[in-house]
Structure 1
Amino acid sequence: MIPGKYRTNPGRITPSNVNCGLHLVIQTSSVPEKNKVRFEQIELRLTKDSSFHNRLLQHDIEKNYSSRQGDHVYLGSSSMPSFPVLHRSSEEKILYSDRLTLERQKLTVCPVIDGEEHLRLLNFQHNFITRIQNISNLQSLIFLDLYDNQIEEISGLSTLRSLRVLLLGKNRIKKISNLDNLKSLDVLDLHGNQISKIENVSHLCDLRVLNLARNFLNDVDDLNGLSSLTELNLRHNQITSVRDVDNLPCLQRLFLSYNNISCFEDILCLADSNSLSDITLDGNPIAQESWYKHTILQHMMQLRQLDMKRITEEERRMASIVARKEEEKKRESHKQTLIKEKKRLTICNVARKWDMQQNRVTSGPSSSQDGKDSDVPSQDTCQLNGSGTCVYPEEPGSLDPVISTALQGLAVIENHLVEVDGDTLFLYGSGALESLDRNWSVQTAGLVTTVSFTFIEFDEIVQILPKLKIKFPNSLHLKFKETNLVMLQQFNALAQLRRIDQLTIDPQGNPVVNFTLWKYYVLFRLSHFSMQKINGTEVTQNDMIMAERLFGILAHVASSELPQYRLLSLLGEVRKKQFRYLLEGKGKKSGVVSEENNENKRLGGENTNRATLNYTTRDFYTEKLEEIKEKKKFCKTYIHDLVKEAAEINMKNESLQKLWPQMFIELVRDAVIEIRNKNSYMKLCLQRITDTK
């Protein structure tokens, strides 16, 4: 029965025929402050017992028995001086033969009740009784009311096997116990006590109503066996979680108001109950959440009332819509979680391969210079931004397959990762550089202003800088993390970009940062970019002046030592024209130098001296060496063939000079012999002519 639903007078018992049985509503009242009456109601349905039913009707139990001063009884002394003995007149016994009311009698102990073995209802409300005793002979008792006493322990009830209703509300009981023989119990009211745990009730298979409101319960469990329980009142406790409720097949009403339940997971078992129709959760932290009502209705579609309010079809429909949206959010969140996990594992894998590569490099002759950095990931785990460790995946395809539909803008391969997050393009692993060749949308490419390189050799990055300038024209900020920047000369390669406003060199994996003057060299070499920040620090005019003082002479020496053809090969078309102009002497006129500087600034180009400071990667240098070797080999072969051919011609000429005199004499002799007979010679010539035709 829902608290506060009925407004009958306190103590009144109202019978009515319900479901072919006796329907009783018993209300017990207390006056805690300023005459405010609060009710803890208990619903009782007794199977129809004709004799008891008719007797109650005949005695007009609609009368408010609490308004009487009690039955006309006499409490005399017994042979045991500590217990009073109860005596009723014969008229009282006839009029109220099966019930006895002793409320508000200031009793401190239960009196001895002799000759009343036929009693079925016994009321000790509002006394000072501390212990249940002297009622073991009342074996026909089905209703025992000890509300508002000072009882500390449940005892003295083992013989009352017929007891159906036991009301022990507002006492001092700390533990549920000694109910083993009360297997017929239908209603158990223990509200307003000091009970901290639900226990010793699993054998009460006929119990329908259990009231444990206003106790000290923290958890709800151990409810197995209460197969007939239809109503459970747990209001005003300190409950944080509920379990085993789904194992109660007949439970219809559950009152959990004013507890400490904060999330739906703490009462998840309620969603598995098929019988619950009424539930209250008001007064809990969970009831303050925006998703509270929709979530409850989504998981408990069979509910008729929530927090004492009937649920409408419109509320169910809205809950279904909200639940669908929440489910979509959860799926999306799940996808994003999987993506993040896959990303984390991929980065760990890239870090491991980078570590193995660096170990191979440092294990050679130069290993004594650097050694292994303690912050570099090991082969078993890797550290990401100092936030935690991760284990490398054994199988890259072992994650949830739903991730495949969520990998938009994120290319995950075993040894590299490419990700666009906001305006930043993240590249992990050397394989990520190949992504620059794919067809990037104009919108995505235009949004990228920062490019971050991690676990990639700088020499490999140099080779894709021209592509970077074309694919991402708005990239103004470069970040290098674990890129093996080891010497100042490598910064020369950045001059081929269109523009750089910011440069970030992470000390982790970039030994060049240990050089004291590295920032000044960057400012000097890339002065045509007018850089604004280096490693998050603003660049000042004094920094630019200091950079020029430190490295200005270096550029002058480098340019003066280069031959003209080499210098021209390093300059662009505009610079070549300017350089030729200077070489012709025309640039010596006054004002030409300043005009050149102005032109440099206008075009945003490099200074001629600085342009001579370039960087050639090891791979490029190796390729050049191979190319030079091939050219040398070709030239050597070509010259060898020429010399051989010339030698053969010379030998032939010398042989001809030796043989020619003899050959000439033989030719003259043969000709004279041939034309000696003129007629024969003519016939021979005509014959040759005829044969040729």
Structure 2
Amino acid sequence: MVDFTTHLWPLSMRLGVLSGLSYLLRLLCLCPLLEGTDKLRLLNLQHNFITRVQNLSHLQCLVFLDLYDNRISEMTGISVLSSLRVLILGKNRIQRMCSLENLNQLDVLDLHGNQISRIENVSHLSELRVLNLASNNISRVDSLRGLDSLTELNLRRNCISAVTEVDQLPCLQRLFLSCNSISSFDDLGCLGESCSLSELTLDGNPVAQETWYKQATLRCLLQLRQLDMKRITEEERRMAFVLARKEEEKKKENSKQLSQKEKRRLAIRNAAQQWEGLRACLELPSSQNGAKDEVSPENSPAHSPAQTNGLTLEPSPDEPRRVSPVSAPERPTGGSENRLRSTSRPNSPRDPRLLEAGGSSVQSLSLSDSHLAELDGDTLRLFGPGALEALERGWGVQTAGAVTVITFRYIHFDAIVPTLPRIRVKFPNLAHLVFLETSLSRLPQLAALAQVRRLDQLTIHPEGNPVVSLALWRSFLIYRLHHFNLQRVNGLEVTMNDVITAERLFGTLGHIAATETPRCRLLLLLEESRKRQLQFLLDGRGRRAGLSPEELRENGRLLGEGLSRALFNYPSRDCSAESPEEGGVESSERSAVAEQYLRELVQRASDTNLKGEALHKLWPSMFTDMVRDCVLEMKDQPAFRQASLARLSQSK
């Protein structure tokens, strides 16, 4: 900072204005009354014992006043010097900045070395260029608005912990903040908004002790020329520019991720609400009728809503957090979902704490207001019916091969069924299907999973899938998907005892269904792929003796999962039709066969009923005639015995 005492006082001597005054005015306790000096422009009263500013009202031409190193405690008496341009009051006992209302032309204000605790009453000094408040008790930098001409601000050796409003000084070039209490760059945030600052000192602050201090400062202030009184090199500036650009890109990426996170949260939330509404509509008629299709777990002591086949389902760290239509959407995971999650319901879908966003590795495949499809490592997660379109997109071989887990959520199971045959083709390494809120409620629906052809693990969460509350659902699933060689169902290992139990429960039923069901009915129940198998069995080729090993293997391939298991089929629309017209033709053919079958049943029942009525009418007379004939025939017993012996002889 410029020492105006040494520069401007010799100027007064050269002008011949009170040239001996500086030497004579020493050891003063009061400001002297200077008569006949109305034109005085420069006055130096430093190094005295003055306690008050007085006797200066007649010096209306005074532009320079130096009261450095005195004992002044109040600034009263300064306001009358309206022409003052330089005011030096350093090293005094001033506690408050005041009496500056009329000093609109002030260019330099030096108040260093006092006891000032806050910056105030300076916003009107629009001409002020230099403000020195070093060595005071200031704790915050504020109230600087209006100092539009300020180019230098000295705040060394104060108690400053935060800096504000510096960005409101359009001409500020030099800012000295050495030896304060600034501990974080967050307390200097406004400096980054300043476009004019070229010199800055922060040495002596806690923040300057950090190893990244210089790089961080230059990254925030690219236009800076000097830092801590040292010139900044072009290499340092270039590195700071690179870091600043990376920081800006990081901020943009974070903003993009936050936006994507919010969209993801809303999509899952809306999908949950739509699914909840649809489920309520579907459950309303059944609740009114009071009908129950399956055995409830309450009727079985071995089952409870929190248990499956007597075993408690434990939450897995690899599983997303459990959520129902009235709970929060799941958090993303990076691995397979091997076990069922906890049935806790922490939040509502309308809760603002709805969702933890997926990590940076999550790839959004399809996103709208009500559905979401995302790929997280080897896991494909689908929320809402619209997300099923992601299964139809063009998948790269490597990407599709990496998918081993598919999770369905807030999608009705009937909407998922048409996609099941194509899942295996699209994702050859698929090993685990997870059904969260999908309205799985009946055992025949589980049979539709046979269309996947191969599966290692299956997870059906109890909440949102009422079928899990049925006592025999797991046994039926193991029996129906026996050819899958399932290893785990809802996180529990499938043992040989489970397979034997399932075979005992449903094997006999399947055998009876396969042997007693009429052929026309079998054709209606079986899919197209099973019609050749049925024909194979009806022709008896599967039971011929003396087949070669190749023929035996071929027979095994044709038999596949077994006809008895195939009869436990899920009645749904045929998904293999290439066009609506073909699907309509096949549907009409099935309708015709069904109609013919029903017509035959009705005709047979009608004929049987007519015969029964006729027999009922004729039976009394027929019974009477039969008794009379027997009595007449047995009247002559010897003749009856002879006739009977003759009939027996003829029959031999």
CA distance in 1, matches of 2:67, 2:109: 10
- Does residue 100 (structure 1) correspond to residue 100 (structure 2)? The answer is no
> Is the contact made by 1:501 and 1:529 (CA closer than 8 Å) also made in structure 2?
yes
Structure 1 residues not aligned, in runs of 5+:
2-22, 27-43, 60-93, 103-110, 393-405, 638-693
TM-superposed CA distance for 1:172, in Å, is 7.2
CA distance in 2, matches of 1:154, 1:519: 91
CA distance in 2, matches of 1:288, 1:272: 24
CA distance in 2, matches of 1:343, 1:210: 53
State the secondary structure of the residue aligned to 1:165: strand
State the secondary structure of the residue aligned to 2:399: helix
Q: In structure 2, what is the equivalent of residue 178 of structure 1?
A: 99
- Does residue 24 (structure 1) correspond to residue 23 (structure 2)? The answer is no
Structure 2 letter corresponding to 1:616:
P
State the secondary structure of the residue aligned to 2:26: strand
- Does residue 630 (structure 1) correspond to residue 592 (structure 2)? The answer is yes
Q: In structure 2, what is the equivalent of residue 133 of structure 1?
A: 52
- Does residue 240 (structure 1) correspond to residue 182 (structure 2)? The answer is no
- Does residue 220 (structure 1) correspond to residue 141 (structure 2)? The answer is yes
CA distance in 2, matches of 1:575, 1:265: 81
CA distance in 1, matches of 2:151, 2:202: 17
Could you say if the C-alpha distance between residues 387 and 441 of structure 1 is closer, same or farther in structure 2, counting changes exceeding 3 Å?
A: farther
- Does residue 188 (structure 1) correspond to residue 109 (structure 2)? The answer is yes
Q: In structure 2, what is the equivalent of residue 400 of structure 1?
A: none
Could you say if the C-alpha distance between residues 612 and 96 of structure 1 is closer, same or farther in structure 2, counting changes exceeding 3 Å?
A: same
Q: In structure 2, what is the equivalent of residue 384 of structure 1?
A: 329
Q: In structure 1, what is the equivalent of residue 184 of structure 2?
A: 262
Could you say if the C-alpha distance between residues 230 and 364 of structure 1 is closer, same or farther in structure 2, counting changes exceeding 3 Å?
A: same
> Is the contact made by 1:113 and 1:135 (CA closer than 8 Å) also made in structure 2?
yes
TM-superposed CA distance for 1:303, in Å, is 2.4
> Is the contact made by 1:233 and 1:255 (CA closer than 8 Å) also made in structure 2?
yes
Residues 264-663 of structure 1 correspond to what in structure 2 (within 5 A)? 266-268=188-190, 270-274=192-196, 276-282=197-203, 297=218, 300-366=221-287, 376=325, 383-385=328-330, 410-515=365-470, 518-535=473-490, 537-539=491-493, 541=495, 544-546=496-498, 548-549=500-501, 552-563=504-515, 566=522, 584=543, 606=561, 610-617=565-572, 627-631=589-593
CA distance in 2, matches of 1:357, 1:335: 33
TM-superposed CA distance for 1:423, in Å, is 1.2
Q: In structure 2, what is the equivalent of residue 76 of structure 1?
A: none
TM-superposed CA distance for 1:514, in Å, is 3.1
TM-superposed CA distance for 1:293, in Å, is 5.1
Q: In structure 2, what is the equivalent of residue 33 of structure 1?
A: none
CA distance in 1, matches of 2:107, 2:325: 70
Q: In structure 2, what is the equivalent of residue 684 of structure 1?
A: none
CA distance in 1, matches of 2:441, 2:272: 19
CA distance in 2, matches of 1:307, 1:578: 94
TM-superposed CA distance for 1:309, in Å, is 2.1
Structure 2 letter corresponding to 1:224:
R
Of the three residues 251, 273, 279, the one matched with 2:172 is 251
TM-score after normalising by structure 1: 0.61
State the secondary structure of the residue aligned to 1:210: strand
Deviations 1:126-184 (A, max 9, x none): x8x9xx4264458567111247x694x554544455483333458572x4333334445
Structure 2 residues not aligned, in runs of 5+:
292-322, 331-345, 353-360, 576-582, 600-652
Q: In structure 1, what is the equivalent of residue 66 of structure 2?
A: 143
Could you say if the C-alpha distance between residues 167 and 270 of structure 1 is closer, same or farther in structure 2, counting changes exceeding 3 Å?
A: farther
Deviations 1:374-398 (A, max 9, x none): 9636xxxx95346786799xxxxxx
CA distance in 2, matches of 1:307, 1:186: 25
Q: Which has the higher contact order (CA 8 A, sep 6+)?
A: 2
Could you say if the C-alpha distance between residues 443 and 583 of structure 1 is closer, same or farther in structure 2, counting changes exceeding 3 Å?
A: closer
State the secondary structure of the residue aligned to 1:341: helix
Could you say if the C-alpha distance between residues 292 and 476 of structure 1 is closer, same or farther in structure 2, counting changes exceeding 3 Å?
A: farther
Q: In structure 1, what is the equivalent of residue 340 of structure 2?
A: none
- Does residue 166 (structure 1) correspond to residue 166 (structure 2)? The answer is no
> Is the contact made by 1:136 and 1:157 (CA closer than 8 Å) also made in structure 2?
no
Structure 2 letter corresponding to 1:100:
R
State the secondary structure of the residue aligned to 1:198: coil
- After TM superposition, the structure 1 stretch with the greater mean CA deviation from structure 2, 161-170 or 577-586, is 577-586
State the secondary structure of the residue aligned to 1:364: helix
Residues 50-69 of structure 1 correspond to what in structure 2 (within 5 A)? 50-53=11-14
TM-superposed CA distance for 1:618, in Å, is 7.8
Of the three residues 121, 124, 143, the one matched with 1:200 is 121
Deviations 1:599-641 (A, max 9, x none): 99x9997477555543334889x9998643334668999xxxx
CA distance in 2, matches of 1:284, 1:603: 83
State the secondary structure of the residue aligned to 2:373: strand
TM-superposed CA distance for 1:313, in Å, is 2.0
State the secondary structure of the residue aligned to 1:478: strand
CA distance in 2, matches of 1:172, 1:368: 90
Could you say if the C-alpha distance between residues 629 and 526 of structure 1 is closer, same or farther in structure 2, counting changes exceeding 3 Å?
A: closer
> Is the contact made by 1:419 and 1:427 (CA closer than 8 Å) also made in structure 2?
yes
Structure 1 letter corresponding to 2:505:
I
TM-superposed CA distance for 1:439, in Å, is 2.2
> Is the contact made by 2:119 and 2:142 (CA closer than 8 Å) also made in structure 1?
yes
Deviations 1:501-547 (A, max 9, x none): 33332334222233455445544544554544444x44274xx5256
Could you say if the C-alpha distance between residues 540 and 417 of structure 1 is closer, same or farther in structure 2, counting changes exceeding 3 Å?
A: closer
State the secondary structure of the residue aligned to 2:325: coil
State the secondary structure of the residue aligned to 1:232: strand
- After TM superposition, the structure 1 stretch with the greater mean CA deviation from structure 2, 606-615 or 428-437, is 606-615
> Is the contact made by 1:422 and 1:448 (CA closer than 8 Å) also made in structure 2?
yes
CA distance in 1, matches of 2:424, 2:264: 27
CA distance in 2, matches of 1:242, 1:491: 66
> Is the contact made by 2:362 and 2:376 (CA closer than 8 Å) also made in structure 1?
no
- After TM superposition, the structure 1 stretch with the greater mean CA deviation from structure 2, 461-470 or 352-361, is 352-361
Deviations 1:569-604 (A, max 9, x none): 5897899989998973869xxxx9xxx99x99x999
Q: In structure 1, what is the equivalent of residue 45 of structure 2?
A: 122
Count of residues paired in the alignment: 513
Q: Percent identity?
A: 41
More strand by share: 1
Instruction: Supply the RMSD in Å over aligned alpha carbons.
Output: 4.9
CA distance in 2, matches of 1:314, 1:172: 45
Deviations 1:329-377 (A, max 9, x none): 344444333333333333333333323322332343535779xxx9636
CA distance in 2, matches of 1:234, 1:368: 82
State the secondary structure of the residue aligned to 1:100: coil
CA distance in 2, matches of 1:193, 1:586: 116
State the secondary structure of the residue aligned to 1:504: strand
CA distance in 2, matches of 1:251, 1:268: 13
State the secondary structure of the residue aligned to 1:492: helix
CA distance in 2, matches of 1:290, 1:49: 46
Could you say if the C-alpha distance between residues 636 and 302 of structure 1 is closer, same or farther in structure 2, counting changes exceeding 3 Å?
A: closer
- After TM superposition, the structure 1 stretch with the greater mean CA deviation from structure 2, 155-164 or 442-451, is 155-164
TM-superposed CA distance for 1:271, in Å, is 3.2
TM-superposed CA distance for 1:550, in Å, is 6.0
TM-superposed CA distance for 1:466, in Å, is 1.2
> Is the contact made by 2:110 and 2:132 (CA closer than 8 Å) also made in structure 1?
yes
